[in-house]
Each structure stands twice: as C-alpha cells, then as structure tokens.
Amino acid sequence: MSTRSHDDERLGELLSALPAVPAGLVGAAQELPRTRHELDRIVELAEADAEFRRALVDDLETTLRTGGFEPNRIVIEELRRRFPA
C-alpha cells in the first residue's frame, strides 16, 4: 500500500469518526449566499434612495417587508449596524 493510499484511508477513518453536523448549521450555511445577496441589494437601495434609507432607520422590519424582503436575524442585525438610528 502506498503512503498516499494509507493517508487517504486514515483521513477517511478520522472523518467518519466525527459527529454529524447539526441540521441547523447545514441549513444556515445553505442560506448564507442568498442572505448576502439580499443584504447587498438592500444596502444598494438604501445608498441610492434617501427616503428608503430613512424608512429603514425609522421602522426596519416593516420597511423590509414592504420592499419585498423577508427580514431575518442576520439581515436585521447587519442593517442596524450599518444604518444606526
């Protein structure tokens, strides 16, 4: 058996010994690209539209829903950081 083959086999053994990844973590990782894209769209709109930016600061969650965005914890926290009241 070659060293490479032995290393691959050992790596497989080690990986199989790890506990399963929690389902919530997998789901969050799958949502991350969509969340980033949505956040970028909201920030671009807020930078281009002063009225929308004011509305975000005044009533963030309602403004997001009205704008067709689904507020989630990550987006809300990041927008509050970027656009403080």
* φ/ψ (deg, to 5) at 69: -105, 145
DSSP state of 22: P
Give pLDDT, residue 28. Answer: 85
* pLDDT in the model for residue 85: 83
Q: What is the pLDDT of residue 69?
A: 93
User: What's residue 23's pLDDT?
Assistant: 87
Q: Average pLDDT of each block of 10 consecutive residues along the chain (85 residues)?
A: 78 92 89 93 96 95 94 92 90
Please report the pLDDT score of residue 5 as a whole number.
Answer: 73
- Tell me the CB-side half-sphere exposure of residue 73, using CA atoms within 13 A: 2
**pLDDT of res. 4:** 73
- Alpha carbon distance 16, 27 (integer Å): 21
Q: Are 53 and 47 in contact (CB under 8 A)?
A: yes
* DSSP track, 41-82: HHHHHHHH-HHHHHHHHH-HHHHHHHTT----HHHHHHHHHH
